[in-house]
Each structure stands twice: as structure tokens, then as C-alpha cells.
Structure 1
Amino acid sequence: MRFFAQAFGFFNWVGISHFINLLFISLLMRSGLEILSAHPRLYWNDGCDAGSEWLKFTRKVMPTDRLWTAADEQEPFSSWLALPGHMNLGMGRHWHFFSIIFWILNGVIYVFLLFAIGGWRRLIPTSLSIFPAAIHTVWIYAHLHLPPPGHPYNPVQQLAYAGIVFVIAPLMIATGAAMSPAIAARFPRYVRMLGGRQSARSIHFLGLVAICLFTIVHVTLVVIEDFPANMSYIIHGRHALEGLSVAIGIGGLVVVAILHVWATQVSIRDPRWVQRTLGIAIEPVRRSLLHRLRSRQAYPRSAISAYFIINGRPPESAEYQRMTQTNFENWRLEVGGLVENPLRLSLGELRAMRSCSQITLHHCIQGWSGVAQWTGVAVTDILARSRPLANARYLVFRSWQEAEPAVTYYEVIDLALASHAQTILAYEMNGAPLQVAHGAPCRLRVETQLGFKMVKWVRSIELVEDYRQLGAGQGGYREDVQFYGPEAGI
């Protein structure tokens, strides 16, 4: 009986948190690489100026003789490395945000218990003497010797563990939040404190590298110093039952590996199931944290990007081409559905309405960004003219662009997003009429959302009660086909 009581000591909270952390941090690493593959360049400037990247994972060079879009930048990372690999950004994002919820929850519980039972003394240095002691310990390691065991950690281990728990982990959360368009729009000063959106992205990547290096060194030292004893401390919480602790430790690693294989295979085989299942946990959290945030951006003209990356290929239909030849004189914006007063507005009529102008930071789901000035009509003014019915809840924006043959590109936003002061139909960019490459004659701007929600080459607006009857019922073409989430605040 005593043996079983001791054996179940592996439910020690440190041991449990180790394996939970291992599972979710490894899922975060692999899904993060999948996200990086969508735009495998890192910058220190928010304009993502061509050639200004400090690190890239692609040999592609933008040609000068043909249209080059952000989608052409993508690189297919292997499924052995990324989750799920092979340019599946939607699945990568789902696994990333699902994992971050439980990684943060595990971390909060770990830190709470660390302070509740006094375990913080093992990690947080209480004397400056630890730094010369750490240098001496590094010198011992450099000579391929093992330093004397600490109590319970030697100086280098203590500094490394404290750095990961109290510096790197919070920094990863802070920089991850800064890449959210909703947070960046509501708290622009916060993003500027980190050097901008792309600086936050670069720091986030460097944090990933630091965690990878720490993991490699940590596992190596656990193995070479005294693997059975170290596993008993990790799993059991004290030096006892070494054999059982090693078996549990190895078994835990096998389980984590199996879960990774399963996650990769199910994401490739049945992405819709992954989208819906992980969305049960993800979407309520994203919506509750981000959906109510309103943009307060007012960048100076000096911040406008020298080059704003093109994303998406312009419509090729004969009707759209004829409109471009007449400067869109025969273009009409149709507003219908659940409205009292259907509208059919020309570009001239839109320009005659009250205009709004804003200089804001654009966030592409692929990772690049850019600052531009947008001038147009507030969507609330269009709604005021059309007078939505009481049961209208969503706006469906349809494009002249065919995402695939006979399939119109569309996206959905709700009335709450439509009511934002900086939600506009823009017909000018940087003080000039919108160019075809950027969505002429007008494009949607919703400054708290990712770029894929901001329909270009707008054709019509339809107010509906429920979007689940449209397309595959996910809230937009990207959500239907590329399995993005309907909440695009991050």
C-alpha cells in the first residue's frame, strides 16, 4: 500500500506542469513555424520595405516584369517541422491559438503554486553573487566537466530557469499580443513601445529560438548529469522511485510524440473537423478579449509606408475590365438584403457623402504589415441610408474578384464591427484614387481585423440574419476554403 502511495507521487505539480508545458510549447513551436512560412521574412520596420528584412527563409526575389503578391512569398515548410506543414496557414493558426490558451493557463497555475508554497526561492536569485558564480560554472561546462550540484540548481541553471519563466515567457505573450490588429488598433502606443508590429514579430521569433536552445540544453543536461535522479525529481518531486520515474518520463515523451503525429495527420486529412473542434475553445476567448475593441489609430503622415504590399489578384471579368476603362463611371454599389431602403450608389455618390480619412496600420494574416492613409465613407453612413431591419445582424461584402471560377470572394462582419468609426469603404489611398491593385474602386477597411476580412474590389453589401447559409457557412471565403477563423482580431 505504501508503494502505491509513493508511486502516485508522480502527480507532483511540477511534474504535471512539465509535461503539459512540453506538449503545448512544442505545438506552439511547430504551428508558429507554419505561420512564419506564410511570409518567411522578418523586419524591424512596419512597412516591410523590400530588401529591408534582417532574416529570411526563402530565396524568392520579387520580379519586376509581372504582378507579385504576398501569396507568392509563401514557402512550404515540411510537416516534419511545421504543423501541419505545406502552407496550411488556417490549420497552423488554429493549433497556435488553441495551444496558447492552455500554455498560458498552465503557466499561471505554475507561477501561482510557485509562490504559494515558496518554490520561487529555487528560481529567483536573491544575491548578485550568482552572476560571477554563473560565469565560473559556464567555464566549467566549457571544459566539458560537470559543476558541483546546486541546491537544487547550480547558478547557470537557476538563471536560465528564472529567465525562461519570468522573462522569455512573458515577453512571448506580450509580443504575441502586439501582433493582434485589435490590440494594436486600440492601444497603438503599446505596439510602439515594442518598436512596432514587425519588431514584435521579430522579438517573438527570437523568443522561439531562445526557448528551443533552452530546451535542447536543458534536456541534454538532464540526461548527462544523472538521468534517473533528475527524472525522479521532475516526475516524483523528490529523489525516489528512479525506475518508475524514468518509465513515466519516457512514456510521457512517447505520448507527446504520438499527439504530434495525430495532430499533423488529422489537420491534413480533416481540416474542417479541426477548424470546428478547436474553434470551440478558441473563438469564445478571441471574441471576448478582442471583438469589443475599437480602433484609436492616428499615425502621422511620416509613418506611411513607401511601398504597400499587394495581396490578391485583380478581377479578370470582362465587366470589371470595362469599368476600369471608364474610371468606374458605370460601377454601382448595391446595398440590399434586410434593409428598408435598398441602395444603388455610384462612385460619385459615395464621394459626395461625408468623407472620413485615417492613417492606420494594416495587418495581413500572412504576417506582413504596412501603414497607409485611407479616405472614404463610414459604413455607418451607408447603413443609415439603407436602414437595416431589426433582424439584420451581419453584413456580407462581395467582391468583383472570383476567388476561383464561378465563386465570388466574400467576407462577413457583424453590425458591431460595422459600427466602428474607422470601419469605412475607402476610395482613396494616400491621397490618390484607389488603384486597381489595391482594390479599386473601393475596398473595406475594418482596422481591428486582419486584412483578409477587408474585401477589395467591392461589388455589393447584403445584410443578413445568419451567414451560415452562405458558402460553407464559416463566415467568408477564406474561412470556407482555407479554414481561417471567423474572428480575425488576431
Structure 2
Amino acid sequence: MVARPAAAEPRPTSASEGQPPKAEAKRYGPFTRTQWVGAIILGVGGLVLVAALVVMLARWVVGLESTQGFLAAYPGAYDLPEGAPVGFPAWLGWQHFFNVFLIVLIIRSGLQVRRETRPSAFWIPRWSKDGSGKISLPLWLHQSLDILWLLNGVIFVVLLFATGHWMRIVPTSWEVFPNAASAALQYVSLDWPTEHGWVNYNSLQQLAYFVTVFVAAPLAAITGVRMSGVWPKSATVLNKAYPVEAARAVHFPVMIYFVLFIIGHVALVFATGALRNLNHMYASQDAVNWTGFWIFVASMVVVAAGWVAARPLVLAPIANLFGKVSAR
């Protein structure tokens, strides 16, 4: 009789065998949620380390004898021309609020336009008979806010020069540059320059406000007009001289500048005497009390309400007053 081969012993299986493969974690862009958390923690830690090293280096530079002489000669600000106004009038506070409200919503709608691929609603101008000029509803909001922001800016500049307040934000001496360098060094070393905002900005503030009002804002307007529907599409020579690609290449970095300016501006407002600074901007008074703070809180509630309301359900009836809103 031929012997039958012995049956093979069963191979032990692991607990995972026979089970469906584990689903891959959802990715948000290039990373999963856990990877994003790790990257953010690592990035923040790296920034804190770099900031600490920069502060230590700045404090060492400030301690040098030659730097002490420079700081004594250029304390961070220079005297304004004789007759320069003191304080902040009420119209400036209102202008500041309108500007904050509009620029926040402009940034929100601009980012929405930049990332949207399939808009859910469109706006067609009332004068259009063939549907020309059709744009997405977020783009209509962005361009409408731009018009209001430009109007507010024109009123601001007119009042600025009519009342003499231009001297507070337009450099009137070459000393602005060494004083700005001095103020920057003092900020970085955390031995911040003395604040006299009710009377005079330091030179770094003055340059920042000048660039924002007279450089960044016009650039945003000029590039925005080039990208808008009001630009003549048939002007071949003009389009060749000023291509839309050039406008796009400038428009987004200008928006990033405004974001960084707002972050830095708000941080310094709260870090250099919040109650007094908020009173300057919102209550038109040089005092340390809570009046400006509560006006600021109320203004932020209005801005937040505008942010939440900037959606098709709310925008469509408003846009219909100036044209026709349609779905895809």
C-alpha cells in the first residue's frame, strides 16, 4: 500500500489577514490632517526660534557704542512741519472703520474668486442684451466692494489734504529714512520707540502708511481695473502694452501686502497701549478709557456680520437691483 502524504499543518494567520485594507487618511492638499498639525507645530516652533535669534542679535547691535550714538541722533521720529494738525478728527475714525469693513470683505471675496472653479450663481448687467459681461456672483461682490473702497479712498485723500493731515503720513524730510531704521531696530530689539501717535507717528509708521495709501492702494486699483469687465477687450494696442497677465502678477502680491499690513498694524495697536490707541482711532480722544475699545468691538461685530452675509442667499437680492442673477 502506498502511504498517503501527511496533511499540511494549517499556517497561522495574523489578525489583519483576510480583512479589507485600511482606508487611506483623507488629504487636505498635500498632507493629511495629522501631517498638517505636525507641519504647523514644526513651522511655528521654527518661527519662534528664528524670532528669538533675531531679537538676541538686535539687542547685541543696540548695545554697541556706535549704535547708541545712531539712536541718540535718530530716535525714531522727526519733527513735523509747523502747523501740522494734532489729534484725530471724527471723520478719520469713520474713514478708518469703512476702510476696515471694505478691505476685509474685498480680501474674502478676492480669495473666493481666486479658488472657485464652478460658481453656483452669476450676475449679468442690466444693459446686457446678449448676456455679455456675465460674471460670477463672488466676482460681482468683489468688484462692487472695490468701487466703494475707491470712493472711500478718494474722500479720504481729499480730506487728508484739505485738513493738513497729509503731513502725518507723507514724509517731509529725508530724516525719515534713518529714523525709520532706528524705529525698526528698536522694535526688533523689543525696546520699542516711545509712542506719540496723537501728535506724530514714528518714521517707520509714517513710511508704512504712505506706502499703503499712495503705493499699494493705487496698484490694487490699477491692476483690478485691468482684470475687471470695464476694461475694453477690443483695445488691441492698449491690451498689448498692459497685458492682463502683468496685472494678475501684481494684484495678488498687493493683496498679501494688505494682509500682512493689517496683521502688523493690529498687533502693534494692542501691544503699544491698546486703550489709548483704540481711543485715537475710534473715539477721537487722547485718553485711557474703554470708550474706543467698545466702539472697536461694535465695529468688529459689523465686520463679522458682513463676512457671514457675503453669500449667495444674501447677495442675490442685492445684485438683482443692479442686474440679473442667474444659476449655472
TM-score of Structure 1 vs Structure 2, range by shorter chain: 0.5 to 0.7
Structure 2 residue 158 is the aligned partner of structure 1 residue 112: yes
User: How many angstroms does 1:280 deviate by?
Assistant: 2.9
Q: Report the identity percentage.
A: 33
Change (3 A) 1:189 1:246: farther
Q: Given the two structures, how large is their TM-score scaled by the length of structure 1? A: 0.43
Structure with more relative contact order (C-alpha pairs < 8 Å, separation 6 or more): 2
Residue 481 of structure 1 corresponds to: 327
Change (3 A) 1:217 1:190: farther
Change (3 A) 1:241 1:275: same
Residue 140 of structure 2 corresponds to: 94
Describe the superposition over 1:28-87 as per-residue Cα deviations: whole angstroms up to 9, x where unpaired.
101111111146xxxxxxxxxxxxxxxxxxxxxxxxxxxxxxx6xx9xxxxxxxxxxxxx
Larger displacement relative to structure 2 (125-134 or 217-226): 125-134
Residue 227 of structure 1 corresponds to: 274
Structure 2 residue 99 is the aligned partner of structure 1 residue 21: yes
Structure 2 residue 315 is the aligned partner of structure 1 residue 274: yes
Q: For 2:290, what is the secondary structure of its paired residue?
A: helix
Equivalent residues, number: 225
- Mapping of 1:398-409 within 5 angstroms? none
Match of 2:251 among 177, 196, 204: 204
Residue 225 of structure 2 corresponds to: 177
Describe the superposition over 1:83-128 as per-residue Cα deviations: whole angstroms up to 9, x where unpaired.
xxxxxx8231122122112111111111111011111000100112
Q: Given the two structures, how large is their TM-score scaled by the length of structure 2? A: 0.63
Change (3 A) 1:245 1:275: same
State the one-letter code of the partner of 2:164.
Answer: G
Match of 2:303 among 248, 256, 259: 256
Find the aligned partners of 1:254 and 1:121 in 2 and give their Cα distance. Answer: 32
State the one-letter code of the partner of 1:13.
Answer: W
User: How many angstroms does 1:10 deviate by?
Assistant: 9.8
Find the aligned partners of 1:232 and 1:96 in 2 and give their Cα distance. Answer: 31
Residue 176 of structure 2 corresponds to: 130
Structure 2: 5+ residue stretches without partners: 1-86, 120-134
State the one-letter code of the partner of 1:104.
Answer: L
User: How many angstroms does 1:184 deviate by?
Assistant: 4.3
Q: For 1:239, what is the secondary structure of its paired residue?
A: coil
Find the aligned partners of 1:225 and 1:158 in 2 and give their Cα distance. Answer: 16
* Higher gyration radius (CA): 2
Describe the superposition over 1:378-423 as per-residue Cα deviations: whole angstroms up to 9, x where unpaired.
xxxxxxxxxxxxxxxxxxxxxxxxxxxxxxxxxxxxxxxxxxxxxx
| Contact 1:228 1:242 survives alignment (8 Å) | yes
Describe the superposition over 1:411-453 as per-residue Cα deviations: whole angstroms up to 9, x where unpaired.
xxxxxxxxxxxxxxxxxxxxxxxxxxxxxxxxxxxxxxxxxxx
User: How many angstroms does 1:263 deviate by?
Assistant: 2.4
Q: For 1:242, what is the secondary structure of its paired residue?
A: coil
Match of 1:236 among 261, 283, 298: 283
| Contact 1:231 1:242 survives alignment (8 Å) | no
Residue 33 of structure 1 corresponds to: 111
Match of 2:262 among 215, 227, 233: 215
Change (3 A) 1:181 1:156: same
Q: For 2:136, what is the secondary structure of its paired residue?
A: helix
Change (3 A) 1:27 1:279: farther
Find the aligned partners of 2:181 and 2:88 in 1 and give their Cα distance. Answer: 34
Change (3 A) 1:206 1:275: same
Q: For 1:185, what is the secondary structure of its paired residue?
A: coil
| Contact 1:232 1:242 survives alignment (8 Å) | yes
Q: Which structure shows the bigger proportion of residues in helix conformation?
A: 2
Change (3 A) 1:278 1:240: farther
Find the aligned partners of 1:25 and 1:186 in 2 and give their Cα distance. Answer: 31
Residue 210 of structure 2 corresponds to: 162
Change (3 A) 1:127 1:186: farther
| Contact 1:11 1:235 survives alignment (8 Å) | no
